[in-house]
Chains A and B, each alone.
Chain A
Amino acid sequence: MEITHTKTQMGTSRSPVGISPIDPLQWVKKYADYLYTYAITRINDEEQARDLVQETFLAALEKIKTFEGRSSESTWLTAILKNKIVDIYRKKSSGLLKKSDVSDAEQEQKDFFDPDDGHWNEDFRPKEIGVEEDLLVNDEFSIILQKCMEKLPVLWSAVFAMKHMDDDATENICEVLKITPANFWVIIHRAKLNLRACLQKNWI
């Protein structure tokens, strides 16, 4: 039987065996909360996260013909959303904004080490803050971590999230965020120094 994917079938059509079906009428019910959560854990802005969910659905509708069923519907939608998030990272971390928030953060950690020998300065030395296994499941501690992540320069938190939350390949992160590998390592290091210091300051 010849299966034709005409526009009139959209929304109710079932694709051939072995290929994931696609059903936009179920999207909101099945994926809206998931996509919203995905967005908000990466950009920390409710309003923007809502907009992104909407944009994702609309973009998906436009691209519906190119959906080949190789991935599941949810993977496909998540990939569209992820591209949009990366666009935001890129926009936010370019231009004027970038310069001021990065230099503030750099200023903050200038005091961490002695400029001559690279030793920890007394006031900024890491101290024991508790038993790791307990902290890991402590909700309050996790909220502080999220707040500390929000305080990072956008580019730094983008690099941190893509690497440590999404496990993206380093080359891929450099490419989409337009940074050099050397820059990547500097950011990974600096983001962690600031995050850790922020946790210690706000937890103890």
Chain B
Amino acid sequence: MNSIKGIIYNCRHATFLIEKKQIKKLTFTENIKLRIHLTGCSVCRIFQKQSILINRMAKRLIGDSENKDRKLDEQFKRHLQDKIENELGKNL
């Protein structure tokens, strides 16, 4: 399969390049191929938008939950505290 023709019509490959692009700089040819594909393919344009959204959300998820805190219950914390004191005691 001719490579240019292949990518222009190949959404599977285009979505691969969309993922790669968000992590690493594409090569010159990859970039051109992807741009041509996206110009003609509205479905992959939607994919790209949503893919970027998912990555942004994943980052937020971490930030969010680290701010909000999902809390450990007090009983387990006491258990942890005892364990630590115990271990420290062993070394005294």
- CB proximity to A under 8 Å, residues B33-59: 43-44, 46-47, 49-59
What residues of B have a CB within 8 angstroms of the CB of A145 in the complex? 54, 57-58, 61
Query: B84 and A24: CB pair below 8 A?
Result: yes
CB of A178 within 8 Å of the partner chain: no
B32 interface contact, C-beta 8 A: no
Q: Chain A contact residues: over half helix, strand or loop, or mixed?
A: helix
A119-B9, A164-B59 in contact; A170/B50 too (CB < 8 A)? no
Q: Count of chain B residues with Cβ under 8 Å from any Cβ of A?
A: 49
| Complex contact A32–B51 (CB within 8 A) | no
Chain A CB within 10 A, most for which of B54, B71, B81, B88: B54
Main secondary structure of the interface of B (DSSP, over half): helix
> With A38-B66, A118-B10, A189-B15 in contact, is A164–B58 under 8 Å at CB?
yes
Q: How far apart sit A93 and B81, CA to CA, in the bound complex (Å)?
A: 33
Cβ–Cβ contact B84 & A61, under 8 A: yes
Size of chain A's interface in residues, with CB distance under 8 A? Answer: 56
> With A7-B92, A24-B84, A164-B55 given, can you name 4 additional A-B contacts, CB distance below 8 Å?
A125-B43, A165-B61, A166-B62, A185-B16
Residues of A whose CB lies within 8 Å of any CB of B are: 7-8, 10-11, 24-25, 27-28, 32-34, 36-38, 40-41, 50, 53-54, 57-58, 61, 112-113, 117-120, 125-129, 132, 135-136, 141-142, 145-146, 160-161, 163-166, 170, 185, 188-189, 192-193, 195-196, 199-200
